[in-house]
Amino acid sequence: MQSNCEGELVTAISHAGDLGFHGILLNAGAYTHTSIALYDAIRAGALPTVEVHISNPDAREPFRRRSRIAPACMARVAGFGPSSYVLGLLGLLGHLEKLRPDERG
């Protein structure tokens, strides 16, 4: 899903497991640097989550170098343009394949 509304993202993350999803790819945009609510939703949802960025936040302005959601995510892929989504998905799928079916959420 795509939304520019923080609350909609929180709701989607919170319900992802109930909807049958086993993991999340998340490009939180500017919310990456500000949202404790997204951090809380990722932690509460307990699904493996990969933080994805098209650009490399570490190569941008200093305020973009801190991710509020990173501690709740299992991994981060950044700086590969749109291919960051593909790389993040491949990593997430590899992680899920290693889990027993009852551990997949």
Q: Which residues are annotated as a binding site for substrate?
A: 27, 33, 40, 54-55, 64
List binding-site positions: 27, 33, 40, 54-55, 64
Radius of gyration of the chain (CA): 13
**Cα(41)–Cα(30) distance, rounded to whole angstroms?**
16
Listed in sequence order, the residues at least 6 apart from 46 whose beta carbon sits closer than 8 Å to its beta carbon are 17, 105
User: Is position 53 annotated as part of the catalytic site?
Assistant: yes
Instruction: Find the catalytic residue in 15, 22, 53, 95.
Output: 53
Known catalytic residues?
A: 53
